[in-house]
Amino acid sequence: MLGAVVYAGSIVWISVASAGHTSDAADAPDAPVVIVLGAQIKDGKPMAFLKGRLDAAVELVEAGKAKAVLVSGDANGGSGDEIAAMTNYLVEQGIDERRIVGDPYGLDTYDTCFRAIHTYGVTKALIVTQGYHVPRAVALCRDVGIDADGVNSDCGCATPTLIKNAAREWVLAKPKAALDMLWSRDAKVTSPSEDSVQVALSIP
């Protein structure tokens, strides 16, 4: 019974924290920075989940809704360097490389949010991911102090893969996120603050 209460509480907490702060790219508000969460790559290229997130980021920048892109993931991930793959893809889509900042230690969603504000000085942002993941991403970023709005991105993946990831989100990831917010832990890797995002924002 206690486990059920904790689980239900985490779902409600995340839902309340993200309420009114999610949209599609076309309806997204303006923000200085768009944060793209990393995901698996293959042969140095984004796979379907990650490609959908990056395409949404491109749409936001081209629409003038954001000026800089913070790509956050694992530079030493099991599938390869997510940061290099994301940066290369964005440049191929026409995004000025000077507007792209890479965080190689965004090892999970909480760490991405924590490092975005504490290392890169991001206080207002759009965060892009798939729809089932958006509420958690928004709740975590807002919890650490970022005025964040979530943007739904396409998946472009097979239905079984989508079901698997959505199930993981509801069963494991949301309760873990609630614990992260409750404990207010540091990121797994902390770094001194830097001004790379501010420099990217200054590009005319």
pLDDT along the chain (204 residues), means of 10: 58 80 96 96 94 97 98 95 98 98 97 98 97 92 97 78 62 71 89 98 94
| CA–CA distances in Å: residue 101 to residues 4, 95, 139, 196 | 40, 12, 23, 7
Give the mean pLDDT of the chain: 89
Please check whether residue 39 is in contact with residue 82, taking contact to mean a CB–CB distance below 8 angstroms: yes
pTM of the model: 0.89
- What tens digit of pLDDT does each residue of 120-131 get? 999 999 999 998
Instruction: Enumerate the β-bridge partners of residue 105.
Output: 74
**Predicted pLDDT at 85:** 98
- What is d(CA 36, CA 26) in angstroms, rounded to the nearest whole number? 17
Instruction: Enumerate the β-bridge partners of residue 129.
Output: 152
